Amino acid sequence: MHILVVEDDKKIAIAIKRGLEIVGYAVDVESDGEAGYYAASSEAYDVIITDIMMPKLDGFGLIKKLREDQITTPIIALTARTQERDVISGLDSGADDYVTKPFSYTVLLARVRALLRRPPATEQAVLRIDDVELDVASHVVSRDGASIQLSIREFALLEYLVRNKNRVVSKETIISHVWDFDADILPNTVEVFINSLRKKLEKSFPKRRKLIQTIRSLGYTIKDAG
């Protein structure tokens, strides 16, 4: 999953980025509202975390402009403002959630996971495709009840494919959602991770059907059985 953090406090921004990357999210950081608006308008993010008090364009203005542009990416407003009217202003501007500083990182992470579960196809905390289960919170994967060890990036790739099951996603789209914007990733890198997933999910279970399909010249897909 690809997350945008818009925060002018460098220490806080770095801390959030590192924390989210540890659990497998790809994270881009911008330091002011205008840069955040440009990034969110140019790239498809799964969640946006934005500070409120920022230079050039404050968080309320950023959220309002994104919603006016019909950008529906879930947004968490992050701010030191705690008065009720400020919370109401944040939500009314189009934010989906509101976290006040100082904040617990575990709470912020839980809010991110909650927003990622909102789309109709991914409401459950445990994602399933056939006999494969992904526990998004604990990063545990199993097939037919047997545990499968995946790296953080392998899990992120599998999660993205399952969340987009029955859809064909290109290598470029996968890169934009699974890796950071600044990451030096080539399309062949996606092939390497796809092959690794196939080895762990398919070759290790020869009696089970193959899950990941290659659609020539288009990308990859995971489809429901039948």
Amino acid letter, 159? E
Asked if 207 and 130 touch (Cβ cutoff 8 Å), the reply is no
pLDDT averaged over every residue in the chain:
85
Please state, in angstroms and rounded to a whole number, the distance separating the CA atoms of residues 159 and 157: 5
Q: What is the pLDDT of residues 73-121, one digit of tens each?
A: 899 988 776 656 666 766 677 888 888 888 888 888 888 888 877 654 4
Tokens of 15: 């801390």
Q: How is the chain split into domains, by residue range?
A: 2-116, 121-222
First to last CA, the chain: 27
Query: Residue 69 — very low, low, confident or very high, per pLDDT cuts 50/70/90?
Result: confident
Domain 2-116 class, CATH top level: alpha beta
The sign of the CA dihedral 67, 72, 78, 81 is positive
The third-level CATH classification (topology) of the domain covering 121-222 is: Arc Repressor Mutant, subunit A (1.10.10)
